[in-house]
Amino acid sequence: MVKIRNQYEENEQIVELEKKINSLERLLKTERHRLKEAIGAWRRKIEGRGLRKDSIREGFNSERGTHYKVLEDLYPFTFRKVDFSRRYKGWLMEVERTLNKQMQLETDFLMKYYSQN
């Protein structure tokens, strides 16, 4: 009877120790995540890449019910739209850049091209 009681007490101690280990592992994971965020914030601050508050465009998407702001550091691109992606688990922003090229062909070139064919 004494051996059974000792084994039962040992099993209870093991279960309590496993619970403590699990709670400490969770605490370690959250602390590690917090420290990574803090290190990243300090690194961005030192490199001068902090978040800017100025926006060149902001709006409200009535279909999705979302509000968006676009920052100034997009030059020479212009903002088109922003969407949330479940695949990438984040926000995707679509930008475009206009081409300042003359796309019209000269009439001499066209005449030569069509006269050869």
Q: What is the pLDDT of residues 63-105, one digit of tens each?
A: 767 776 666 667 777 777 777 788 888 878 888 887 776 666 6
Task: Using alpha carbons, list the distances in angstroms from residue 113 to 103, 105, 110.
Answer: 17, 11, 5
Q: Whole-structure pTM over 0.75, yes or no?
A: no
Q: How far apart are CA 82 and CA 66, in angstroms?
A: 10
Q: How far apart are CA 7 and CA 4, in angstroms?
A: 5
Could you tell me the residue ranges of all domains in the chain?
1-50, 55-117
Query: Residue with structure tokens 């914030």?
Result: 41
Q: What is the pLDDT of residues 35-45, one digit of tens each?
A: 898 888 888 87
